[in-house]
Chains A and B, each alone.
Chain A
């Protein structure tokens, strides 16, 4: 862990909210990405991001300083987002699923990119989160296993299947040929 980050965490542990604000600024986008991958709804993901930082601050004493801070923070964020998802399902209030973007806008965009976005959107929730953590956050298999609290073997299997699903969708849409190298 960089010394500067360690100092921010230690100051936060001593109740320095300004230091925690700095942590929020550094990680808000990454935490938002975790929440968005689970909730698939920007407004809900924004709320979950805020809750995740509040909850992480409250539980900061539980964080083991020898571990990677971001992994712990993403675990908290994933838990908060999953909890929000459960509440949402209980409330039977289905979220407005985000489409990639406005179709009119899409005409001018990279069609291949839009197709990939749709393919990722269409993944089952657990797979989508994993794809975010792997491709956007750049986490390794072991770290993803820690964040999602699943065995490493499961991470590998799901990653393999997620790739296959994305590939199948892109083949279906004619974006890529039947076999890619």
Chain B
């Protein structure tokens, strides 16, 4: 038996399993609709939030602002610069054969594009970015298109339907990507 025949059997076996189980689903539409109809009407969190924030917030007066400005500068002069934290090299890599421009954007660049390079033109674009310890959200831009899923990421978030990768750097943990 060839593998494609096995695959056909897999399809048939799954279909059989679902078909047998799906007999229980008769009338599910009515049950779902009935349950929803019984529930109290809920406004979306956005609607609730918008309403909440329609309340005005107090604004600083000009004089207060000027005082804070002066105080801010005074404090700024008193504050000694923080020591530069240790930076660890982080490899950002993405396979994008045929791409003309590849960049990475993230918290570490305030979401400004940092170009990746592919000197040997094998379609593997890389950049080594030294980063201090911390949590970083980032994504790649391949010819301007957002590519948010980096296989080397430790977490993913979805923002307005687009993926964003997350990487934690530092703390003695071996960075998988470096």
Q: How far is the CB of B46 from chain A (nearest CB, A)?
A: 7
| A135 & B11 in contact (Cβ 8 Å cutoff) | yes
Q: What secondary structure prevails in chain B residues at the interface with A?
A: helix
Distance, CA A46 to CA B9, complexed state (A): 25
A176 → chain B, closest Cβ, in Å?
5
Q: Which residue of A lies closest to B19 (CB)?
A: A29
A-B CB pair tally, cutoff 8 Å: 120
Could you tell me if A120 and B10 are in contact, using CB atoms closer than 8 angstroms? yes
A176→B160 CA distance, assembly (Å): 47
Residue of B with least CB distance to A137: B14
Could you say which residues of chain A place their CB within 8 Å of the CB of B29? Answer: 21-22, 24-25, 28
Alpha-carbon gap, A43 to B25, bound state (A): 10
Interface residue? B31 (CB, 8 A): yes
B122 within 8 A of A: no
Query: What mask results when residues 143 to 165 of chain B are scored 1 for a CB within 8 Å of chain A, else 0?
Result: 00000011101001000110000
How many chain A residues touch the partner (CB < 8 A)? 53
The stretch of A2-10, A52-60, A76-84, A85-93 that contacts the partner chain:
A52-60
User: A113 contacts B25, CB within 8 Å?
Assistant: no
Given A24-B29, A28-B29, A180-B2, does the pair A131, B10 have CB atoms closer than 8 Å?
yes
Interchain CB contact under 8 A, B10 and A50: no
Question: Are A20's CB and B36's CB within 8 A?
Answer: yes
**Which residues of A are found within 8 Å of B149, using beta-carbon distances?**
145, 151-152
For A109-153 the 0/1 string (1 means CB < 8 A from B) is 000111011001000000000011001100000000100010111
Bound Cα distance from A80 to B31, whole angstroms = 17
- B21, B30, B156 — most chain A CB neighbours (10 Å): B21
**Which listed residue, B6, B11, B37, B156, touches A176 by the CB 8 Å rule?**
B6
Q: How far is the CA of A117 from the CA of B35 in the complex (A)?
A: 34
Q: How far is the CA of A17 from the CA of B34 in the complex (A)?
A: 9
- Chain A residues with CB under 8 Å of B156's CB are 149
The 9 closest A-B pairs by CB, nearest first: A64-B161, A151-B151, A136-B14, A116-B13, A21-B29, A117-B13, A42-B21, A153-B151, A24-B29
Binding site for A on B (CB under 8 A): 1-3, 6-7, 9-18, 20-22, 24-25, 28-33, 35-37, 42, 44, 46, 149-151, 153, 156, 160-161
